[in-house]
Amino acid sequence: MDDLYRIGDAAKALGVRVETLRRWEKEGKVAVTRSAGGQRQIAAAEVARLLLEQRKQQAPIASESVRNHFRGIITEVKRDKVMATVEIQAGPFRILSAVTREAVDEMQLKPGMEAIAAMKATNVTIELPHRKGNA
């Protein structure tokens, strides 16, 4: 994967309009470069940074059922000698996966890359928050 997103692809990954990214560029909220042909491009690491900022501003999901494949952007990779954790922001969902370091190195995973988290569970629990009027 390239280390740069075209502005339309970055907007799609962030869930915003291209016009929003242009406004953020003017306001200094996002670093944008230009291709030789003058097209706006945003570094993958910059997209990952913006996704992390969005997650911090979002309220947690209270109740929602999901499918088992989540397409998103890698926002963080942490490695130790044997294991690694990979964080993916898939829309409003934050997914954290523990995998071998070898797998992370072989796949050359890094923040800003598009990835799919595939999950298989034999037990899924659904919980709802307490609401006013409910005990």
Q: Could you tell me if residue 62 is inside a domain?
A: no
CB 58 within 8 A of CB 94: no
Range of the domain at 12: 4-57
Average pLDDT of the segment spanning 55-83 = 75
Q: What is the pLDDT of residue 135?
A: 52
* 84 and 42 belong to one structural domain: no
Q: Could you tell me if residue 23 is inside a domain?
A: yes
The total number of structural domains in the chain stands at 2
CB 70 within 8 A of CB 116: yes
10 pairs with which residues across the strands? none
Which secondary structure element, helix H or strand E, spans residue 101, and what is its range?
helix 101-107
For 28, which DSSP code? T
Q: Could you tell me if residue 125 is inside a domain?
A: no
pTM of the full structure = 0.52
Tens of pLDDT, residues 42-57 = 999 999 999 888 877 7
Please count the CA atoms within 13 angstroms of the CA of 122 that sit on its side-chain side: 0
